[in-house]
Amino acid sequence: MLSRVASHLYWMSRYLERSENMARILDVTQSLAMLDRSADSGGAMTPIVITEAQTEFAETKLTATYANVIAFLAWDKKHPSSIRNCIEATRENARAVRGSITSEMWENINDTWILFQEKAKNIDPLMTGNEFFEWVKERSHLFRGVTFATVRRDQPYHFTRLGTFIERADNTARILNVKYAEEAPDTFDEKEVDTETDYYRLSAVLRSVSALEAYRDTYRDVIDARRVAEIMIFDAMLPRSLRYCMDEATKCLDDLPKDSGRIPRRIASEINAKLRYGTVDEVFDYGLKRYLADFLMDMERLGTAVNTAYMELV
């Protein structure tokens, strides 16, 4: 397969996953906003911090209200990771390789882009709500479903999935890092979750990665900060946990040409080993924040290695 095609496919799915994650984060942000009536709490800035968009947001000179932040992250044309730009980038990458994906995949993503433009005309950015976020998630699910159901299990499929899981792992780590590590600092003590607000915050984190039901099934107990970290990092069966994402990414890499993939495969296996054979106690002993920062660095190394191994046009 052409290196350029691999690169477009990989970024196509990374951008689509990014748009979905952004929608998840904003959806949760919005529901938390209903609990958070104090204007100066800084809660509105959380999604900006998670997605590292502080500089871009500062440039808009907007005040950090929930409505402004959501409008900015969903629609802003200048912010590269806004939902709008992620969907456009997905479609442009797909268009560049529309001969290498199935026509169903192309039509689905092209349709998403056309429908998005309709929505852009009809939705007041400041009133962006749950319905829109659900739509973004649904379009992303649809595309993955179409991919799953139509494409041959060959390199294009593996590169597409690799992009999805690298992006997703990165995102889950960021959500944990910001939404949770701040409230549960490294000197974590076994304080009980007793206030209502804490309950909603933690359940919001779980909901943002579709893990609330999984949590209840697994623990059948009150929502506890430590267990939330455990399920999101180590659960082998939760599709958005770090462990699951890295299991899948490792499998994708194993299915790609082995000779050129030595380095990314090694890095992925290293990351994967830490997740397979780690425990939540170790993580808290080491410090959750440090642990997640290390993980994000590892992911960056992996991304660079994937790029060098398969996609660079040397």
Under the rule (CB under 8 A), what is the footprint of other proteins?
Answer: 1-6, 95-100, 103, 106-107, 110-111, 114, 155, 159, 256-257, 259-260, 310-311, 313-314
Q: How far is the CB of 11 from other proteins (least distance, A)?
A: 14
Q: How far is the CB of 22 from other proteins (least distance, A)?
A: 25
Q: What is d(CA 291, CA 283) in angstroms, rounded to the nearest whole number?
A: 6
* Torsional class of 154: left (φ above 0), alpha (ψ -120 to 50), beta (otherwise): beta
Nearer to other proteins by Cβ, of 10 and 180: the residue is 10
Q: What is d(CA 282, CA 229) in angstroms, rounded to the nearest whole number?
A: 12
Q: How far is the CB of 311 from other proteins (least distance, A)?
A: 8
Residue type, 96: A
Nearer to other proteins by Cβ, of 68 and 102: the residue is 102
Nearer to other proteins by Cβ, of 39 and 114: the residue is 114
Q: What is d(CA 150, CA 54) in angstroms, rounded to the nearest whole number?
A: 39
Nearer to other proteins by Cβ, of 205 and 302: the residue is 302
Q: How far is the CB of 132 from other proteins (least distance, A)?
A: 21
Q: Which of 125, 111, 43 is nearest to 79 (CA)?
A: 125
Q: How far is the CB of 123 from other proteins (least distance, A)?
A: 21
Nearer to other proteins by Cβ, of 98 and 301: the residue is 98
Q: How far is the CB of 110 from other proteins (least distance, A)?
A: 5
Q: How far is the CB of 37 from other proteins (least distance, A)?
A: 44
Tokens read off for 44: 């509105």
Residue type, 37: R
Q: How far is the CB of 295 from other proteins (least distance, A)?
A: 26
Q: What is d(CA 50, CA 29) in angstroms, rounded to the nearest whole number?
A: 11
Nearer to other proteins by Cβ, of 106 and 215: the residue is 106
Q: CA angle at residue 67 from 13 to 182, to 5 degrees?
A: 70
Nearer to other proteins by Cβ, of 262 and 290: the residue is 262
Nearer to other proteins by Cβ, of 51 and 112: the residue is 112
Q: What is d(CA 132, CA 65) in angstroms, rounded to the nearest whole number?
A: 19
Q: Which of 86, 134, 138, 128 is nearest to 108 (CA)?
A: 138
Q: What is d(CA 6, CA 190) in angstroms, rounded to the nearest whole number?
A: 47
Q: Which of 232, 255, 228, 229 is nearest to 243 (CA)?
A: 232
Q: Which of 62, 59, 30 is nearest to 127 (CA)?
A: 30
Q: What is d(CA 216, CA 209) in angstroms, rounded to the nearest whole number?
A: 14
Q: 3-state DSSP call for residue 110? A: helix
Task: Find out whether 241 and 171 touch, Cβ atoms under 8 Å.
Answer: no
